Chain A
Amino acid sequence: MTLMSSSTAAAGPAWAPPLWHALAALTVAGVLATLYLTFAVAPVEAQMGIVQKIFYFHVPAAQAMYVGFIAAAVGGLMYLWKRNDAWDAFCVAGAEVGMLFCLIVLVTGPLWGRKAWGAYWVWDPRLTSTLLTGLLYMAFLSLRGSGMAGAIEKRFAAALAVISFPMLFLIKYSVARWAGQHPQVVTGEGQGLAPDMYPALGAGLVFGLLLVGWLLWARYRVERTRQQVGRLEQEAAERGLLEDLY
């Protein structure tokens, strides 16, 4: 009975905490508000036309990608230091959520580029460095994809998350350091945005952060539960009870 009691306590309650549901509701409301601001308030851009509205979720998705990959690097670093499974779960959650938004960035950017540049893909430094970062985190996910990672795979994946972290700086500064076609509207020194475009972008950035936070939390909870199942099965095997479970 001691085993069962301790496992239940570690896994936490089956239901999600109220704050988790509140965050989910706030995120949904925020995303709807952002859609309204994007399509009803923000004007059509003069040169590119309506396709420029991709900007209002392409940029928040890129921001969410940074948050996810930073979480993965922090989780990986802390796991290598503390060897605590909670940090491993945080690392996995960060990498998966970051990869989700990296995919969104890599799909929506070329669709915008088709109109803006006349081509879906150009080997621009920012596009290339983002693709390269995505491939590194795909390597991470292929390591951890089975969900049955041992200590070696966990350490290897954590190290990969940490050494991939500098790629984020490469993405961030590639647009300024090297030539390329990627716009520099937000961080550049040009005319910036038309005033009516700011509310949609601001809402996208704020509620994009809420969305990535909620997804990180949700994925972290899943991973902690899976870890708990793995620990219980291992303890059962050590006590010779595994055959009773299947």
Chain B
Amino acid sequence: MRVAPSLARWAGLALTLVTNVALAQDPSERAAGFRAVEGANVEDVPGGMLLIAAYAVAWVLVLGFVWRMWGLQKKAREDLDRVERALAERSGEGG
């Protein structure tokens, strides 16, 4: 079956990754709450740039998906109209 090689590659990668699950960390070290800052906000790692990058990527992905859907729908409608027109002409010739 021609789908098998593609699936086998992905399954192989997935199995490789799942074996890397880390189990040794202490659950008590997790963040368990968020508090509002008091006074001026001072940061060492440039969180603003990370935030902008995250928003930019998210919006590019969403808008790119919408753009692709619009293109697919446009092409599908054009194909449908073309096939229907050709079939109608052929039916007209026959009848």
Binding site for B on A (CB under 8 A): 1, 3-4, 7-8, 11, 14, 43-55, 57-58, 61, 96-97, 100, 103-104, 107-108, 111-112, 114-116, 118, 122-125, 128-129, 131-132, 135-136, 138-139, 142-143, 152-153, 156, 160, 178-185, 188-194, 196-197, 211, 215, 218-219, 221-222, 225-226, 228-229, 232-233, 236, 241, 244-245
Contact yes or no, B73 A184, CB < 8 A = no
Among A50, A61, A132, point to the contact of B58 (Cβ < 8 A): A61
- Name which residue of chain B comes closest to A195, CB basis: B36
Among B21, B35, B58, B79, point to the contact of A46 (Cβ < 8 A): B35
- Name which residue of chain A comes closest to B91, CB basis: A1
Note all chain A residues with C-beta closer than 8 A to B29: 181
Q: How far is the CB of B36 from chain A (nearest CB, A)?
A: 4
Cα distance, A123 to B83, chains bound together (Å):
51
- Name which residue of chain B comes closest to A118, CB basis: B45
Note all chain A residues with C-beta closer than 8 A to B17: 128, 131-132, 135
Note all chain A residues with C-beta closer than 8 A to B47: 48-52, 115
Contact yes or no, B84 A100, CB < 8 A = no
Note all chain A residues with C-beta closer than 8 A to B95: 1
Binding site for A on B (CB under 8 A): 1, 3, 6-7, 10-11, 13-14, 17-18, 20-27, 29-38, 41, 43, 45, 47-48, 50-51, 53-55, 57-58, 61-62, 65-66, 69, 72-73, 76-77, 79-80, 82-84, 86-88, 90-91, 95
Contact yes or no, A241 B87, CB < 8 A = yes
Say whether chain B's binding surface is mostly helix, strand, loop, or mixed: helix
Contact yes or no, A221 B73, CB < 8 A = yes
Q: How far is the CB of B12 from chain A (nearest CB, A)?
A: 10
Contact yes or no, B51 A51, CB < 8 A = yes
- Name which residue of chain A comes closest to B43, CB basis: A49
Contact yes or no, A44 B37, CB < 8 A = yes
Cα distance, A142 to B5, chains bound together (Å):
11
Note all chain A residues with C-beta closer than 8 A to B24: 179
* 8 A-B pairs with least C-beta separation: A190-B32, A191-B33, A51-B47, A43-B36, A139-B10, A225-B76, A183-B31, A179-B25
Among B20, B48, B73, point to the contact of A50 (Cβ < 8 A): B48
Besides A7-B84, A45-B34, A132-B17, 15 new A-B residue pairs in contact (Cβ under 8 A), listed by A number: A3-B91, A11-B80, A45-B35, A54-B55, A115-B47, A115-B50, A125-B21, A128-B21, A142-B6, A183-B31, A190-B32, A222-B73, A228-B80, A236-B86, A236-B87
Note all chain B residues with C-beta closer than 8 A to A114: 45, 50
Note all chain A residues with C-beta closer than 8 A to B57: 104, 107-108, 111
**Can you sample 29 A-B contacts with CB below 8 Å?**
A7-B80, A44-B36, A44-B41, A45-B35, A47-B31, A49-B37, A51-B45, A52-B47, A100-B65, A104-B58, A104-B61, A123-B20, A138-B10, A139-B7, A142-B6, A143-B6, A160-B7, A179-B25, A180-B25, A181-B29, A181-B30, A185-B31, A188-B30, A191-B34, A222-B72, A229-B83, A232-B83, A245-B83, A245-B86
Q: How far is the CB of B27 from chain A (nearest CB, A)?
A: 5
